Amino acid sequence: MLEENIITKEKELSEQVILIGCGGHQTHPKCAYEVEIEVYGMQCTVPILVIPGQKDELILGSNVIKYLMHEMKGSNDYWRVTAQNCDMSEFPDTFQFS
């Protein structure tokens, strides 16, 4: 992301951040960046925490998921998708809402 100029300036961590993962494993981010991302067509600026040894490319935290859910509830598409029984093979991207 640095090489592609997606992120440019490291953000100071103003407080001690402790992340608790599966099994209660605790870790501390090495650094953070502010990044503008688009998820399901919605733009938001989120803090990206760099975690040593993390294997997943990106994990959206509950702060982003709660924001997205709040915003998506204002969309007719959201209610259309969540109100119907879908054939998952016909609409594979709606699987996340089932």
pLDDT of residue 89: 63
Residue whose C-alpha is closest to residue 72's, from 96, 48, 47, 46? 96
Q: What digits encode the pLDDT tens for the residues 24-79?
A: 888 888 888 888 888 888 888 888 888 888 888 888 888 888 988 888 888 888 78
- Tell me the three state secondary structure of residue 26: strand
Asked if 37 and 44 touch (Cβ cutoff 8 Å), the reply is yes
Beta-strand ranges (E) seen in 4-87 are 10-11, 19-20, 26-27, 31-39, 42-50
